[in-house]
Structure 1
Amino acid sequence: MTTQDVDRSACDDTAVDDLIARAGDLKVELVAFAQSPRFARVLDALLFDAAGRHGRLDEATAVLTVDHFALQHRRSDGRTVVERFVSQRRPALSDVEKEMMLGWRDVVEGCFEFRRFDGDAIELHNLIDDLVYRVYSTMGRGVFATLRKGMFVVGRIVPVHPATDAWLVSGHFAAFPESARRKVAETAARQIVAHPELLRRNPVTLQAGWETQAEHRAAFIAQVGSDLVVLPPDEAQETLREHYRRLRDIAAARLDGKAAKSPETAGPTPGDMGRLADDLLDADSIAVIYDEVEGLCYYRDFGHLDALFADPALVRDRTRLAQLREYLDDESVSPLAIRRLVQRHPDGADPVFRALLRKPGFLWSRDGEKLLRRRKKPYFDREPVPSVSIIGERLGELLRTTR
């Protein structure tokens, strides 16, 4: 089968059936490849972590761990296991097979509501990204025999082939009865908050997220006069609480005025709104930044670094330099923090980084972005998504009716 054949018959059941049959054989080969001795050290460590402190690893968790390792875990050379399999497999795969397997890197992790059977497939509504998927199993329709309308499944799916609109179960699929709707809905909401990138597949939801984030940012700026403020922890916490109070008042006013309904957002509960993490509460100062792209961000002890960039003579203070090095080396700290320090005090950037890096010729204008790209590579590899996560209508309905 050629790529053209797949393109022309993207929705043709015969073509999809052939691809699914081949996918089943290749997935068995891929799993065996992932569990081969060449990857044993890394995979064993991942399985050990998955077992947790009790040291018990159930079959479902083991299957999901291996599946994630095979499709998404990036090795030191930047490649995934499936990419290595596709390039090394002998005899070589056809072009269609290569495209199919590389398409499996596009994993959708979801909390799905079962809708109906559709031939050998099932129709699932993902409560997370609010999209509907037509899903098959390489093991046949019998795998879905216990599903009934109103039930839920939690698991992973991958495209059969990028040229089709059909999807495949990947790894373990856990089924839940209708009575578990509260648990499933709350799990979906937590996933949206923790991983807003899961919404990227739905352009409508994604756009609503950007628009809502822009509104919230404008409200924050109107409140404090800027998109960045440096405060002691207690004042930062009260500022955030006031921010969320204002957002609630705006939403209530819209409802009272019968204005168009705003998209429902996933976020902290009213009791948690504005509550800073414990590791921030013992900081000397906190920068609260509502960035146009990254949304609402917090950076501890930002005041020390702000003073350093304002007065580069403070480079003699090794404590401040050590803190800046931590900002630079810690992959969990966004490049945004350093960029904002430079923007606030552009004349301080060159002397401060020359002292930090011990490079007398360092120029931020020439070398700054290169430095950030080297030290903060994960941030440059990911696609930006709004920090405000939008809840789909069905998930919102489930959350309201189960509380």
Structure 2
Amino acid sequence: MYSNVGPTAFRGASQGGFLVTCLVPLVPTNGTWLVSGAMEYYPKSSATEIAQAAVQLAASQPELVFRNPEKIEQGWQRMREDRVAFVELCGADELILSPSAAENPLNSYYRHRQQTITAAHPGHARGRRLPRLDFPAFELPHELADSDTIGVIYDEIDGMNFYADYGMLRDLFADPNLAGRRTHQDLLRTYLREESIAPLPIHRLAAAHPETTDTVFRKLLRQPGFTWSEHGEELLRRRKPWYYAQEPRPGVSVIGERLAELAAGGRQRKSTRAQRVSRQPGHP
């Protein structure tokens, strides 16, 4: 890393501290960077604070992590492992629960994953307490608390997501006579309209109820000639262009061990094992 004003740009910084700045690559030389813009220095004693901020950034803005192609593949691999564990623990990749019953099984899942990771790498946790191991990893978002039911789907591509009143939506597809009810129509319209809801739940229900899906959408859209096989994908692409405009990304951001150690208040280790950061699942 270089500065166009020379070494004086780094005056006051000491080894083990942290610099927050923008770096631009110097091409065609690989691995050579130039400081651009303002630069802030934080001492070594700020390691935990800096690392925790970096972990939060990785979770809230995963596109920054996924600028590294290796992190994309690592994220897919970790998410596949997590999904297998979810299915083994919960019995399926799709659950419908009441709000009061949702937190316990999900916390059991997160605790199980943490314990599995700890058991696989006992030396990694020796001498320090793993953060959040004994505390709830999942708290129900307040906007879902008033739902009659909550759908939890851990998909291979879309990851884990939560859906409000998913039980009512499932009942609609199972019994198309409910399509005449205003509450059921409004719920399906919400699933089609909201940008926070991917096509996944509608795809799932259409696949599970092929004999009734056409009737449901014909009544909702008032289009007697609508068929899911012919018009369903076009409908979703029209209603949710944002989903199809972006490349799928894993729902898990993978960070290096040094960052994980610093965020937990530990010291740097030389191992290169990766840690996972599960991002807050999406929900309507």
The TM-score range, normalised by the shorter chain, is: 0.7 to 0.9
CA distance in 1, matches of 2:255, 2:225: 50
TM-score of the two chains, using structure 1 as the length reference? 0.58
Alignment of 1:3-402 (within 5 A): 118=1, 121=2, 140-141=5-6, 144-146=9-11, 147-159=13-25, 165=30, 167=33, 173-255=39-121, 270-401=134-265
The one-letter amino acid paired with 2:172 is L
Partner of 2:273: none
Query: For each residue in 1:135-157, what CA deviation from the matched residue of structure 2 results, as whole angstroms up to 9, or x when unmatched?
Result: x66xx447833444333233544
Offset, 1:339 = 1.2
CA distance in 2, matches of 1:373, 1:389: 27
* CA spacing shift, 1:202–1:371, aligned 2, 3 Å: same
Question: Which is higher, the Rg of structure 1 or of structure 2?
Answer: 1
CA distance in 2, matches of 1:143, 1:314: 72
CA distance in 2, matches of 1:174, 1:373: 44
CA distance in 2, matches of 1:361, 1:385: 35
CA distance in 1, matches of 2:218, 2:39: 53
The one-letter amino acid paired with 2:46 is A
CA distance in 2, matches of 1:143, 1:381: 45
Tell me, what secondary structure is at the counterpart of 1:347?
coil
* CA spacing shift, 1:151–1:227, aligned 2, 3 Å: same
Unpaired segments of 5 or more residues in structure 2?
Answer: 126-130, 268-284
* Contact 2:96–2:150 under 8 Å retained in 1: yes
* Contact 2:150–2:166 under 8 Å retained in 1: yes
Offset, 1:305 = 0.6
* CA spacing shift, 1:357–1:393, aligned 2, 3 Å: same
* Contact 2:93–2:155 under 8 Å retained in 1: yes
CA distance in 2, matches of 1:312, 1:143: 73
CA distance in 1, matches of 2:208, 2:110: 27
The one-letter amino acid paired with 2:76 is W
CA distance in 1, matches of 2:18, 2:40: 8
Tell me, what secondary structure is at the counterpart of 1:389?
strand
* Contact 1:217–1:227 under 8 Å retained in 2: yes
Query: For each residue in 1:328-372, what CA deviation from the matched residue of structure 2 results, as whole angstroms up to 9, or x when unmatched?
Result: 111111111211121221222222222222222222212222222
CA distance in 1, matches of 2:36, 2:229: 46
Query: For each residue in 1:187-246, what CA deviation from the matched residue of structure 2 results, as whole angstroms up to 9, or x when unmatched?
Result: 001111222232213333332222221111111111222110111112221110111122
Query: For each residue in 1:55-74, what CA deviation from the matched residue of structure 2 results, as whole angstroms up to 9, or x when unmatched?
Result: xxxxxxxxxxxxxxxxxxxx
Tell me, what secondary structure is at the counterpart of 1:346?
coil
Offset, 1:386 = 1.6
CA distance in 1, matches of 2:59, 2:245: 21
- Structure with bigger helix share is 1
CA distance in 2, matches of 1:278, 1:336: 22
Offset, 1:268 = 7.0
CA distance in 2, matches of 1:346, 1:167: 56
CA distance in 2, matches of 1:284, 1:312: 20
CA distance in 1, matches of 2:181, 2:20: 52
Offset, 1:282 = 1.9
CA distance in 2, matches of 1:232, 1:331: 24
* RMSD value, Cα: 2.8
Tell me, what secondary structure is at the counterpart of 2:19?
strand
Tell me, what secondary structure is at the counterpart of 1:401?
coil
* CA spacing shift, 1:178–1:219, aligned 2, 3 Å: same
Q: How many residues align?
A: 260
TM-score of the two chains, using structure 2 as the length reference? 0.80
CA distance in 2, matches of 1:350, 1:157: 54
The one-letter amino acid paired with 2:161 is C
* Contact 1:232–1:284 under 8 Å retained in 2: yes
The one-letter amino acid paired with 1:321 is Q
Offset, 1:254 = 2.1
Query: For each residue in 1:37-84, what CA deviation from the matched residue of structure 2 results, as whole angstroms up to 9, or x when unmatched?
Result: xxxxxxxxxxxxxxxxxxxxxxxxxxxxxxxxxxxxxxxxxxxxxxxx
* Contact 2:58–2:64 under 8 Å retained in 1: yes
CA distance in 2, matches of 1:377, 1:321: 22
Offset, 1:400 = 2.9
* Contact 2:151–2:163 under 8 Å retained in 1: yes
* Contact 1:196–1:386 under 8 Å retained in 2: no
